[in-house]
């Protein structure tokens, strides 16, 4: 991921891409595969809707705020990076309106900027999950029996068990980790590559994606495409025999 960011930012005339934007993009792709986590609790119902309204924690002089990038799944990587930077600046200036601080469906918390490796992030109610991102630091890692230095980060996921079980949450987290380890496997249609990078990434073999795998070339749609409908599940039926399971 760090190498990819360096490549993306090598063009001095192009907008710079932040690490948070890259990880947010991976998160959006993961939410497409695990839409149970892109949801809100409304009364006795779990409401899943097509768009990803991505919140991100921003520390300001007024305390912690969570600006929201609406319809984040429709943003290119460059647009997403610019939106995060713009909202972070306005949060610190105190110029964000209420509509820009509410309505999120999932939140990312980059506490790594404070030198923290891991933390138990608190879910931003009424959302059902939050992803925590630790600092990126060089650590010893064993590869083929040899200890080598690797840039590592810790990802944590807090989620509401009323929405999904550990298998779904684990697959979601693994998907993001896989994207971070091999982001070159993400297809152009997801907005990760720029045209000038295609030659450098040419020849990589892709797999048809499964849950928990990195995205492949057969994935051509994102959350929000026709046919992906708003879904509602009654919490009172969630764990009863025969209860409807989230897709």
Residues tagged active-site: 161, 165
- List b or e across 157-195, with b for residues whose CB sees 16 or more CB atoms inside 10 angstroms: bbbbeebbeeebbebbbbbbbbbbeebbbbbeebbbbbe
Coil, helix or strand at residue 40: strand
Other C-beta atoms within 10 Å of 149: how many? 9
Please identify which residue in the block is written with the tokens 């760090």: 2
H helices present in 112-220, as ranges: 166-181
Residue with tokens 């026709």: 226
């Amino acid at each position: 991921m760090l190498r990819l960011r360096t490549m993306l930012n090598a063009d001095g005339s192009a907008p710079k891409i932040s690490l948070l934007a890259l990880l947010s993009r991976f998160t959006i792709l993961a939410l497409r595969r695990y839409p149970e986590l892109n949801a809100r609790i409304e009364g006795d119902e779990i409401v899943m809707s097509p768009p990803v309204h991505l919140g991100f924690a921003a520390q300001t002089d007024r305390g912690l705020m969570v600006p929201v990038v609406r319809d984040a799944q429709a943003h290119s990587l460059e647009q997403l990076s610019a939106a995060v930077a713009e909202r972070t600046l306005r949060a610190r200036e105190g110029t964000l309106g209420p509509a820009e601080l509410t309505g999120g469906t999932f939140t990312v918390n980059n506490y790594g900027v404070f030198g923290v490796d891991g933390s138990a992030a608190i879910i931003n109610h009424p959302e059902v999950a939050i992803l925590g991102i630790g600092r990126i630091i060089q650590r010893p890692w064993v590869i083929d029996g040899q200890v080598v230095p690797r840039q590592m980060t810790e990802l944590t996921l807090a989620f509401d068990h009323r929405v999904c079980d550990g298998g779904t949450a684990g697959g979601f987290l693994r998907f993001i980790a896989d994207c971070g380890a091999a982001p070159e496997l993400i297809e152009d249609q997801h907005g990760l590559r720029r045209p000038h990078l295609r030659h450098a990434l040419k020849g990589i073999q892709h797999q048809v994606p499964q849950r928990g795998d990195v995205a492949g070339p057969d994935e051509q749609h994102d959350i929000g495409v026709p046919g992906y409908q708003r879904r509602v599940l009654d919490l009172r039926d969630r764990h009863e025999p025969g209860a409807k399971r989230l897709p």
